[in-house]
Amino acid sequence: MTIKRLSILGSTGSIGQNTLAVVNQFPNLFKIETLAAGINVELLSQQIQKYQPKSVCVLNEQTADQLKKISKGPVEIVYGPAGYEQMASFSSVDMVVSAIVGAAGLLPTMAAIRSGKDIALANKETLVLAGEIVMHEVREKQIRLLPVDSEHSAIFQCLQGHRRQDLDHILLTASGGPFRDRNISSFESIQPKDALNHPTWSMGKKITIDSATLMNKGLEVIEAHFLFQIPAKDIQVVVHPQSIVHSMVAYHDGSVIAQLGIPDMKGAIAYALSYPDRLPLNQPVPNFFDLRTLDFLPPDLKRFPCLSLAYDACNLGKTYPAVLNAANEIAVDAFLHNRAGFMDIPRWIEKALTMHNPKDAMNLDNIVLADQWARTFVRQWIKENG
Ligand SMILES: NC(=O)c1ccc[n+]([C@@H]2O[C@H](COP(=O)([O-])OP(=O)(O)OC[C@H]3O[C@@H](n4cnc5c(N)ncnc54)[C@H](OP(=O)(O)O)[C@@H]3O)[C@@H](O)[C@H]2O)c1
């Protein structure tokens, strides 16, 4: 493998830091060209010192000024939407790691695709919002869009060496989150600290709440639908509490191929960075004698309505997935700030989906407008009823 020059969007987040941990292990294979973060200037300045990127981007002018005061060296510091797109399309970059959280990741990722960069995609929201356009442009530009989400990386790996026409369906595994066995009668009283306590994965706050509501799995169904061009009805969610089987693929002859590993994002990140090579990561393989059993259960859609709302949005198509995602982002933020209860999250998303006037999803302006509409709608709803 020749040296790969990277841009990491979201370098201060959980995926961003795990990506840099992989880079640390293979300094001869990767070079950091640009970094982008939100507001964590302390960590970003440490990353600048260590990786010496040419250019970095932060959220706004005020944050850029703070960073300029504490960072050393000749790095260029930019900010805002144009800055993120600049990092994503930087001329010397070979691959962009898209790991900003939420819909904010969409436009920088689009900019990277349009400038012909290969993408390691963690930001699932990019495909949820604009899957049709993204996949169209990926084909036009003939770039590689490699999944970082562990389930999608697993599916991608299970598809290698098999004929696409032999695929029957996908089995998308889910840990079930911290409330897998909790009685529905106590769901209304769930607090953010309970929901932030994920049993198997260590992740950013937003995705951890999404894992607790199973919206994360819903977003992943939509992500898989676009990425693997498969109808939602052929994507079956399987609750697997141990998070060892990262997902499976069933073929027409009844054979099922699974990908297994310990629950650590570095495996999926490294595979996206080095595909088709496999890096000697020194990750332990699961200890099957300690594990002894692996469990598989159907998801309970009554307790976790976010998952059925995501299937609905996927089946309805158009701008419905964008509305699902935006309504979820606002509702999760309100929950994290104690302005909403846990079960308000699906309630408000359902309301937004019901009231939405859908538009064609092959138009980026329609998607951005639907996203903005849903945010305003849910914010207003919280104001009046929260
Ligand atoms: N964590 C996982 O294990 C995991 C697994 C699969 C997929 N993913 C996906 O990967 C993405 C990142 O997740 P994460 O868990 O790494 O999130 P995270 O820990 O919350 O990190 C988010 C990153 O995005 C930056 N950011 C936040 N808001 C931003 C904005 N408006 N504009 C630009 N940058 C912004 C943050 O910067 P500051 O911190 O500097 O503000 C941080 O670098 C999500 O789409 C998630 O669904 C994550």
pLDDT digits (tens, 9 = 90+) for 139-164: 999 999 999 999 999 999 999 999 99
Model pLDDT, residue 6: 98
Give percent above pLDDT 90 in the chain.
96
The answer, yes or no, to whether any atom of ligand 1 lies below 6 A from the CB of 346, is no
Supply the residue whose CA is at minimum distance from atom 34 of ligand 1.
38
Predicted TM-score (pTM) above 0.95: yes
Q: What is the pLDDT of residues 71-94, one digit of tens each?
A: 988 999 999 999 999 999 999 999
The answer, yes or no, to whether any atom of ligand 1 lies below 6 A from the CB of 204, is yes
Q: How far apart are CA 308 and CA 215, in angstroms?
A: 9
E strands in 92-234: 95-98, 118-121, 145-147, 167-174
Supply the residue whose CA is at minimum distance from atom 37 of ligand 1.
38
Cβ of 290: how many Cβ atoms within 10 Å?
6
Model pLDDT, residue 2: 87
Q: Measured at the alpha carbon of residue 21, what is the angle toward residues 15 and 25, in degrees to the nearest 5?
A: 145
Which residue bears the tokens 């990908």? 259
The 3-state DSSP class for residue 103 equals helix
Query: Model confidence at 198, in pLDDT bands (50, 70, 90)?
Result: confident
Model pLDDT, residue 166: 98
CA of 99 to the centre of ligand 1 (A): 5
Q: How far apart are CA 283 and CA 261, in angstroms?
A: 9
Q: How far apart are CA 367 and CA 362, in angstroms?
A: 8
Q: What is the pLDDT of residues 216-257, one digit of tens each?
A: 999 999 999 999 999 999 999 999 999 999 999 999 999 999
Which phi and psi (to 5°) does residue 237 adopt? -85, 130
Average pLDDT over residues 13-38: 98
Which phi and psi (to 5°) does residue 67 adopt? -65, -40
Q: Which structure tokens are listed for 94? A: 């070979």
The answer, yes or no, to whether any atom of ligand 1 lies below 6 A from the CB of 40, is yes
Model pLDDT, residue 145: 98
The answer, yes or no, to whether any atom of ligand 1 lies below 6 A from the CB of 265, is yes
Model pLDDT, residue 385: 81
The answer, yes or no, to whether any atom of ligand 1 lies below 6 A from the CB of 261, is no
